[in-house]
Amino acid sequence: MEVREASLKKNCAQVLTLPNPTCSGSIERWQLRPGLDLVVHDVRFRETITINRNRADDKLHLGLTFCLAGQIRGTDSMSKQLFQFERGQASLGVIDGSNSQVEYAGKQRVSLVHIHVQPDVIPLTHPEGTEQLPGALRDAIVGRDSPLKTLRDRQFYFHSCAMTPVMSATVQQLLHCPYQGLSQQLYIEAKTLELIGLYFDQLFSTNSLRQQISSLKAEDVDRIVYARDILLSRVTNPPTLLELSRLIGLNDRKLKQGFRQVFGTTVLGYLHDHRMEQAQQLLLTPGTTIAGVAQQVGYRSPEAFSSAFRRTFSINPKSYQLQKR
């Protein structure tokens, strides 16, 4: 099935408005620089449909996707490999001349930020860049340039991980850009590059993090996970680090070091990110007030909460509430 779109210009982006008989919503396309494009999807299909996506050329791109809502399933036509985007997930795929079939579930909102980038725009094709790549990704990118390989020989590559709190915050900052005109273009490009950097940092650190975690005793990992559970159960009245370490039976040094190894951030950083994500959801609940949300996520004053929210997402809570409703 083909979806036809009507387009118009909005600031520096091309906005594609989808027809009502098939679906509702919009797609914004930003051509940030040669070889770097940003696409923001916010659509709702009236019924489950499968769309054939045909590539116009076989130029190699990397596709990074940050899914905020909904679920999409797809199949690579050449390799017959399956891939999937779902809420809270970030993913990386290698895109070339092969086509794909993508299934959108009906009656659900699909919201995602998608980045197309050619490898030479970022230093992935440089020797120092390729050395850091996981083997499968390196083969998928560098191996495709071999004159002995045809399109059918090329390898399918897809990797996904949970969006980190920093990724989530950066996506929200990108979607709620406070600027217009040239400043907006520069801000959007900077946040797009930041998202690429965050994803690759997560990709590069995965093996190292696993090695670090494997160096911890299984009992210590269980205690650190228990510490996380205590934090989440006491968001409005969290324990101090010393109290938390006593509750789980580890000294505060082991707690701080182990928590960063297991969750990739500090205890306080994890609590802050959880509070902000919880606040985002609460702000969308009809009838909620800024003061009420602040109290529910553990802030004693609405002013302190508003400042923290604005530092995290580059938008104040009231503006976020009005934009999303």
Residue 4 has pLDDT above 50, yes or no: no
- Of 1.20.1630.10, 3.40.50.880, 1.10.10.60, 1.10.645.10, the CATH number of 217-324 is 1.10.10.60
Residues carrying CATH 1.10.10.60, the chain: 217-324
Residues carrying CATH 2.60.120.10, the chain: 6-207
- The model's pLDDT over 229-265, given as tens digits with 9 standing for 90+, comes to 899 888 889 999 999 999 999 999 999 988 888 887 8
CATH of domain 6-207: 2.60.120.10
> Which pLDDT value is given to residue 316?
92
Q: Which residues does 293 contact at the CB level (< 8 Å), separation at least 6?
A: 279, 282, 283, 305, 317
Tally of CB atoms within 10 A around 120? 13
- The model's pLDDT over 152-172, given as tens digits with 9 standing for 90+, comes to 455 678 888 778 778 888 898
> Which pLDDT value is given to residue 97?
61
For 286, 291, 293, the CA distances from 296, given in Å and listed in that order, are 15, 9, 5
Could you tell me how many residues make up the chain?
325
Tally of CB atoms within 10 A around 309? 27
Please give the residue that has the higher pLDDT: either 193 or 71: 193
